[in-house]
Structure 1
């Protein structure tokens, strides 16, 4: 029996009572639906869309956390909804804002990632007041500072909201946070035990498979553990930790405590803490992943220009462990066990999805299977900062190939959420995960067929054991919460919503606003918003703009949400700076950590030189906790920027404070000073002095200060180039070695 509805295509959605009950609630009030993987959350979304659109006019936005999942929703909505396919629209960041603006106007059902929706809300090309329904798939992301939260907050008072998730988490406070951010008024929880759900549930068995680490691994793990213990003892002796029995997450949380310590010990403790974190991670790599992944991590440490990385890679015990492992011709026993299991499954002509946490491990598994003449499809996330990864097209191609040709898919966490990869009866975890959300999502890959098995590889007497127990315990806790708390959740939500309504009424009375949802149409609402008075209205009568415009580099989109309330925001790819405030003011924003990193990797001076192409450049540093470089070196760099390059530096407390500074500066430039906003591309013509200084700075070991000293002393570039070593060393800051290098560059024949 199938659902019959004018907006649902015939014979496409099976009539299931539990789905219809959820939809009935969703049509009455903002609802969070908690439903296991494979039980038809997409069908619930389609039925809710049909119900809403049959009662009222408006548009629908579906947000999903990844592009493959967005594509999947697009296909599903075209499959289920009896709506003109041209009105069902995918929007992504590759489409220009101008085209997206036209698409938002012409479409009816929109599917996008929350980041795209956020950007377009900020740019004011997406107008939440035009929408009747927001569907947040994988709604457990609606916490903290996530784009889900931003989008939900803009929609929840203007449209209906449906949240969908298989696993909201085991923390009741987190569930309330999700509900609060989405404006949820009612929670519908359907578990496998519910009588109306159980007939449709695919039974999945969890089968842990334990392997024993080889003695050779144990020897090298002991070397690494001893190196870690030394660091932990130092931290304990200095009262940073109470016991040397700590885990990685506890170590990662030490920085705030250390920053409150005296300067004479603070930086040393930060370094030791960083070393402990890196050693803890190295041990985890060897214990749970294998030799290859550990050695790849070692190679990454060698490329890190930090004291903590150098201290570790120079530790004799770490060096010995690397040497021993390089000479070993054995890998982690998980690989052999995994190969054995895959071969058995393929004999049954079944498909299997293998999950591994790290891309290095995924690659190793694919290579091993290939060596054994087993075709395995790799599925990883999009390119990261190392340039590794798969494009959206490659991901789609991989999924299609797995469905139609191959029987093995090897994936990182990117395929955990929602993606209908294929109906499989076997899933293998290369390692257990301590997160109940991820465990449920991974296991859900085996719940789409008639039921299957989840095989978890566990290295005995390692953190694998703890992670496995933690994941199971958290999942059990979450199920207990969901089972016992639906009534409590809904009662509490009712109380919270009543409190919020009272507060909202007070605010509305104070500000002379009305509930636009029930009184006026979306067009009238837009008109009221346009005519809403602002502090700058008096100035607008004289022909000046209501708000300043800030051009934001597209890589700095996260700040847009803080700017959009007070300024017009345009996103563009900028060659110079992060924000353009006028034809003469460009701003480079850096967190304290990024400021340090840009000194270490030598990006900073290039960025500073580029900023000089604007007449009035500015650097804003967010925060003041510098942990990798001594504060004397930080101050020296700041003095150089401010004095040698004449670029002022401002400090801000946080991202909101930065946004406030940018708005005030933009208003001063554009509204008070009446300056236009303009982007500079390419090189600004250098003055003669700048060209001379530029040439001299090209000499070995010569920076801005030394270049200035040389030019002051010799008066011309020619005199510097013809000066002897002895004459060069007479200049302040130029030693014999630098003088020799300069003479060598100037005199050495090019072809020698």
Structure 2
């Protein structure tokens, strides 16, 4: 390559950003119309965004959206380093930025970098609008599907700004033709521009990437374990067949088959409750678990399977654990498998291969950076621990934020710190789950190792893109012979090729996409082609008496998509912190919304459902409870008669009607109908007069104790009666705790673990 040339633009600092012809070409196309740019990882999608941004900044502010806080911080730092504008005019929005502060920051900003959920919330709360935004850049644009925030933001942008320009950027939009079209439609994309490693203008910037597939044999002892688990699986499939849910010829079910069958059963149950369907759903839950155990045995090894069975055992013993887990762990063949597992050699051929490959890489090139990808957290921990035994390897586990049984996640701050230490060389090997696949500013690596293949072409492309960026790289994919590893590998390979074919043909289809409803209406009525905003104003002038009903929505409900659905239905939504209820549509009607999962959780976790209902009754003349979703009697292990008892009490003792809805859109349609009925054609002022009943001291004390694991309301009361205060409960020894009724060794141990365990936040 010739001497480096830099981008020369008044809004870009001199000698900061390398100029590449393909990036200039892509940006030029993106400035003509709303465009989706598909460019392999490491080839500067952010630079294309920068070029589009500086061309649009004279017309108004630019909004850059990225899915996670680390990505947002990364983008903000880049733009502050290279843009020749005041750093104060480049603002960063995340959920931790107070909403009122965001309003003033938005007004003074020229560039806003944000997570999409924050912008969605501010648009719904009418704190900001997009009229002055000259361009929106959607990073990882393939996420723009379903109810993801990108979809809502793009729709509002199209409504509010007649001179809109959208830029979507991604390394891998996927192979599904309809999914890519959906992304383009949702973002109002008119054109797709793609570059691959083989394009002539990209080739000079591509380094060799050696891809190697290495087979490992499944140990004999794993095959023995698999036979025991196969016996259990065959038994459950036969029982499912006897119930008539599958044909006698189906000897196995794929994951997709199981999900489809589960959906059909749930649908049947909602229309016709039947004991046979309950039994079928429970059997299917066992099939899910045992199929997963078989896959772990084949692809992850003995130690990972042992951890999985440990979690199943914990679930089986837990008060809130599933019957499926309990039955599986009581099955004789599973008990044999667990016993056999204890005596197995934990020597794992894949772990040995990882140690050999990584050890050789570090020996030959001590300054190497390596990423090992695995699908499971347990495996990430096992691999990291195993690599500590090899001289020269400094491994670190890199996982997401969620925490579960004996598995603590990483905060975003910890993730950023680990990446920095990886860059600095304190760690040279990152053992990561999917959290390291997308977008994060991880330095160019010398080796990417897949512990197992993955069926997703999007994730496979993102993983491979972590090497061969600034110098030659290497990809090694481990596969267990005769396991799902092979199927996943060829599935991903086929989808990658399909994606390239789909992308090449997509522009032709975008050019002939059907006209929008507005365009058809204009043609039929022969209206002049006014900007959409003017047409809306004319309509409002003609019908001044028609006022949209107003709905007050509790701020916490923003996590659902009911608010967005209500707005689409033409209602005027107002976000507030409501003391009582989730939705208020008139002085007399307040609505509490619970998903099935949330409703069941209130019963199992001892939360004060009846207190919420009581407040609703005291505050509103016409209170209403909406329960949203399916599987009320099957989603969690709660006795159906207990659920019926609670519903009966709410309806009869409290006099609160209960309406069931299918999903968020159905809930919104119900609330819309009620609001229109209550308010008519004129907007009536609604008095938000409800106040939540404060918890008594006794209730607060019971709440604190019952919030600990393994402790429900009854045990909490027993502990407080026995010891007299929260302080005395916390100071009690294990033996003293076990003197209390219903407190056994396990519960006592969990209390002591919470009270005395070191805080690792």
Indicate the TM-score class for this superposition, using the shorter chain for normalisation: 0.7 to 0.9
Give the corresponding residue for 1:690: none
Q: Deviations over 1:143-190 (max 9, x none)?
A: 122212122222245220011111111121111111111111111111
Give the corresponding residue for 1:376: 395
Structure 1 residues 655, 220: CA separation in 2 closer, same or farther (over 3 Å shift)? Answer: same
Give the corresponding residue for 2:429: 408
Deviates more, 1:574-583 or 1:657-666: 574-583
Structure 1 residues 668, 134: CA separation in 2 closer, same or farther (over 3 Å shift)? Answer: same
Question: Offset at 1:251?
Answer: 0.6
Give the corresponding residue for 1:639: 648
SS of alignment partner, residue 612 of structure 1: helix
Q: Does 1:312 align with 2:328?
A: yes
Q: TM-score, normalised by structure 1?
A: 0.82
Q: Deviations over 1:526-553 (max 9, x none)?
A: xx59x95799x6598xxxx972422232
Q: Does 1:65 align with 2:85?
A: no
Distance, in Å, in 1 between the alignment partners of 2:344 and 2:116 is: 47
Distance, in Å, in 2 between the alignment partners of 1:100 and 1:534 is: 36
SS of alignment partner, residue 90 of structure 1: strand
Question: Offset at 1:79?
Answer: 2.4
Paired residues for 1:43-442 under 5 Å: 43-54=47-58, 56=59, 58-156=60-158, 158=161, 159-242=164-247, 243-258=250-265, 259-260=267-268, 263-301=274-312, 302-303=314-315, 305-347=321-363, 348-349=365-366, 350-372=368-390, 374-384=393-403, 388-404=408-424, 405-442=426-463
Show structure 2 runs of 5+ residues with no match: 700-711, 718-740, 743-761
Deviates more, 1:369-378 or 1:228-237: 369-378
Question: Offset at 1:37?
Answer: 0.8
The answer on whether the counterparts of 1:552 and 1:569 sit within 8 Å (CA) in structure 2 is no
Q: Deviations over 1:654-694 (max 9, x none)?
A: 2122124345556778966853244526327999xxxxxxx
Distance, in Å, in 2 between the alignment partners of 1:375 and 1:578 is: 50
Distance, in Å, in 2 between the alignment partners of 1:621 and 1:293 is: 39
SS of alignment partner, residue 84 of structure 2: coil
The answer on whether the counterparts of 1:669 and 1:675 sit within 8 Å (CA) in structure 2 is no
Distance, in Å, in 1 between the alignment partners of 2:188 and 2:546 is: 37
SS of alignment partner, residue 208 of structure 1: strand
SS of alignment partner, residue 568 of structure 1: strand
Distance, in Å, in 1 between the alignment partners of 2:44 and 2:714 is: 67
Give the corresponding residue for 1:494: 511
Question: Offset at 1:581?
Answer: 6.0
Structure 1 residues 459, 504: CA separation in 2 closer, same or farther (over 3 Å shift)? Answer: farther
Structure 1 residues 184, 69: CA separation in 2 closer, same or farther (over 3 Å shift)? Answer: same
Distance, in Å, in 1 between the alignment partners of 2:195 and 2:349 is: 40
Show structure 1 runs of 5+ residues with no match: 688-696, 703-740, 743-752
SS of alignment partner, residue 476 of structure 2: strand
Structure 1 residues 370, 560: CA separation in 2 closer, same or farther (over 3 Å shift)? Answer: farther
Structure 1 residues 363, 578: CA separation in 2 closer, same or farther (over 3 Å shift)? Answer: farther
The answer on whether the counterparts of 2:38 and 2:195 sit within 8 Å (CA) in structure 1 is yes
Paired residues for 1:549-628 under 5 Å: 549-553=552-556, 556-564=559-567, 565-570=570-575, 572=577, 578-579=582-583, 587-596=591-600, 598-599=602-603, 601-603=604-606, 606-614=608-616, 615=618, 616=620, 618-626=624-632, 627-628=634-635
The answer on whether the counterparts of 1:68 and 1:392 sit within 8 Å (CA) in structure 2 is yes
Distance, in Å, in 1 between the alignment partners of 2:662 and 2:629 is: 5
Question: Offset at 1:382?
Answer: 2.0
Question: Offset at 1:428?
Answer: 0.9
Question: Offset at 1:312?
Answer: 1.3
Would you say how many aligned residue pairs link Structure 1 and Structure 2?
672
For the aligned residues, what is the CA RMSD? 3.3
Distance, in Å, in 1 between the alignment partners of 2:526 and 2:689 is: 39
Distance, in Å, in 2 between the alignment partners of 1:562 and 1:5 is: 43
The answer on whether the counterparts of 1:240 and 1:257 sit within 8 Å (CA) in structure 2 is no
Distance, in Å, in 2 between the alignment partners of 1:130 and 1:72 is: 25
The answer on whether the counterparts of 1:619 and 1:650 sit within 8 Å (CA) in structure 2 is yes
Distance, in Å, in 2 between the alignment partners of 1:638 and 1:437 is: 44
Q: TM-score, normalised by structure 2?
A: 0.81
